A and B are shown apart, each in its own frame.
Chain A
Amino acid sequence: MPIEVNGKAFETDEEGYLANINDWEPGVAEVMSKEDDLELTDEHWDIINFLREYYEEYQIAPAVRVLTKAVGKKMGKDKGNSKYLYGLFPYGPAKQACRYAGLPKPTGCV
């Protein structure tokens, strides 16, 4: 089911993840979050950008602990935990933040 961003169609899979990560542009996250009734703040964008940087280097989303640690380092220790991430992305960092960032869904026993 494709989504429309700034007049362009983007292919997604059955679960709403972008079919091709290279297609991604910030508007994708905006459109997806609007569908979830979520307004993206700078805090959200910090996470989305980190996910994309990490993916570029390692070809996978960061482990939860890697992510919380990076967030803690950057934004203060009180924010370096999953509670903070779930506060930003109620559907979970993997399901929601990865999707907005254009990353494929983490698979396996997670």
Chain B
Amino acid sequence: MAKADFQVPELKEYAEIPEIKPGVMAHSKPFKSKPDFQEALGFPGELVEDWQKKAINKMGDLLGRYRSLRVYMDACVKCGACTDKCHYYLGTHDPKNMPVARQDLLRKVYRRYFTLAGRLFPDLVGATDLTEDVLGDWYNYYHQCSQCRRCSVFCPYGIDTAEISMAAREIMDSIGVGQKYCNEIIGKVYKIGNNLGLPGPALADTLEGLEEDVFDETGVEVKYPLDQEGVDILLITPSADFFAEPHVDGLIGYGKVFHEAGVSWTLSSYASEAANFGMFIGSYDNMRRVSMRIREAAIKLGVKRIVFGECGHAWRVAYSFLNTLVGPWDFLDPRYPVPQHICEFTYDLIQQGKLRLDKSRNDDMVLTYHDSCNVARASRMGDKPGGQFDIPRAIIRASCNHFYDMDEETIRDRTFCCGGGGGLLTDDLMEVRVKGAQPRVEALNHVIQEKGVTHMAAICAICKSQFTKVLPYYGMDMGQIVSVHQLVSNALILTGQETEEEEAVEAAA
């Protein structure tokens, strides 16, 4: 594990609202995007000459296009309800990480150029010019927001800081100031098909390995097909599912579930990514271009359904935007949701009694569940309100004997972000990631102490990677974060699979 060159927050018995420490995170900023990465996305390579004017024009363009943004700029009454709701404020103590202060970084410039009072009497209404310092603050503090929308749950006006932070990043990209992590990755999706840059042959090799592993483990030939035409289901999953742990254990689980359901399915090497970082940078054009690959793959492969794997923000894009982005999906089978979440798929099978789950196979773990922000606050699952909270929990309960929820204040729609969402899952932001994880890890620590919880399950690739990295900073083990479908995979007894007990009985006979 990397040694921390910053103070790792202490986990307390009760959540505390910290005293402010102004400027304590002013130094934190991600690496800037190189000209190559910028241009591949249709942005200027570096800071343009008349950047102030262009940035203001872009802000005007966004205000005209998104009525919501103008409302968010105008509506805040400084009531303070949001101030102690952001995990980055709670973890860093920097007052600019209070949602209202983060919004004000954009709002003060909005007032200066787009309101009468701000144009005439800037000092009276907290309006300021767009200076180099302000731009610097934008870059640093809009990259200390994971766009998790927890603050908006508590705002009496419903002001959505995520949308403000997306707008700020879009304005910065438009003048040539981009973030390396997000923009390099989006370029890889265009060039290769996924965030990791896994080419088709590497995918095929990885999937072949999984088939061998599952066969060795179960004696059943479960397939993990790639680019197969004419099948029922196209699975769109984060590329981390191919590459990292514990993600891959989830992917193994999806394959087993499809196998038991008796449906034909495939992955696509062209659309081998569920993630859509176009949303993180607030760029409609890039979000659409990334999504378009899914449509193209679905048409080319001739599938009838699309199912999404465990990826938080991908599910927001899929559930909330996919139809308007790249629809209509009239070529898919209308009897199924477009798209469907793998948790919905598995839950349906459990309801129908089609999965034989032996919960005792997860008895080495006591579980809790981390609601991922984009699933919790920006989407839904199933056909009932709150399905996005209840369905993953129902799957865990069907697969495990021991499950306890964390404190109510920190789950469901009030869930704390993992600290690495919104395009912050990069090593150059490790300090803000570790500190931002504190509220979540504190709640986890509680159920570890009180209930003997050993593992936390999640349905988001970013959450899984983030916890793998940050838990060790808090003295916990990287293996304590697991995939929900990893639990299903452990518990699921495949048709034709000989269990150890049955083998023992046969051997005795």
Interface residues of A (CB under 8 A from B): 14-15, 57-60, 62-66, 69, 82, 90-91, 95, 106-110
Contact = CB atoms under 8 A, between A and B. Distances in A.
Contacts of A59: 197, 199, 202
Interface stretch (B238-246, B443-451, B489-497): B238-246
Given A59-B197, A66-B206, A108-B196, 14 more contacts: A15-B427, A58-B199, A60-B197, A64-B244, A64-B245, A65-B206, A65-B209, A65-B245, A65-B248, A107-B184, A107-B185, A107-B188, A107-B197, A110-B243
B196 A110 contact: yes
Interface of chain B, main secondary structure: helix
Interface in B195-213: 195-199, 201-202, 205-206, 209-210, 213
A60 B244 CA distance: 13
Contacts of A62: 202, 206
27 contacts: A14-B31, A14-B428, A58-B202, A59-B202, A60-B197, A62-B202, A63-B209, A63-B243, A64-B245, A65-B248, A66-B206, A82-B245, A91-B1, A106-B196, A107-B184, A107-B196, A107-B197, A108-B185, A108-B194, A108-B195, A108-B275, A109-B240, A109-B461, A109-B465, A110-B196, A110-B243, A110-B247
A48 to B, nearest CB: 19
Contacts of B202: 58-60, 62-63
B209 A66 contact: yes
Given A60-B197, A65-B206, A109-B462, A15 B243 contact: no
Interface of B: 1-2, 31, 180-181, 184-185, 188, 194-199, 201-202, 205-206, 209-210, 213, 238-240, 242-245, 247-248, 275, 311, 425, 427-428, 461-462, 464-465
Contacts, number: 90
Nearest to B311: A109
B210 A65 contact: yes
Contacts of A95: 2, 427
A110 B244 contact: yes
A59 B200 CA distance: 10
Closest 8 CB pairs of A and B: A108-B195, A109-B461, A58-B202, A109-B240, A108-B196, A110-B244, A63-B243, A63-B206
A91 B2 contact: yes
A104 to B, nearest CB: 8
Taking each of A65, A66, A90, which has the highest tally of chain B beta carbons within 10 Å of its own beta carbon?
A65
B195 A107 contact: yes
Nearest to B420: A109
Contact of B1 (A14, A58, A90, A109): A90
Contacts of A82: 245
Nearest to B206: A63
A74 to B, nearest CB: 15
Contacts of A63: 198, 202, 206, 209, 242-244, 248
A64 B196 CA distance: 13
Nearest to A59: B199
B199 A108 contact: no
A63 to B, nearest CB: 4
B209 A108 contact: no
A66 B205 contact: yes
Contacts of A91: 1-2
Contacts of A14: 31, 180, 428
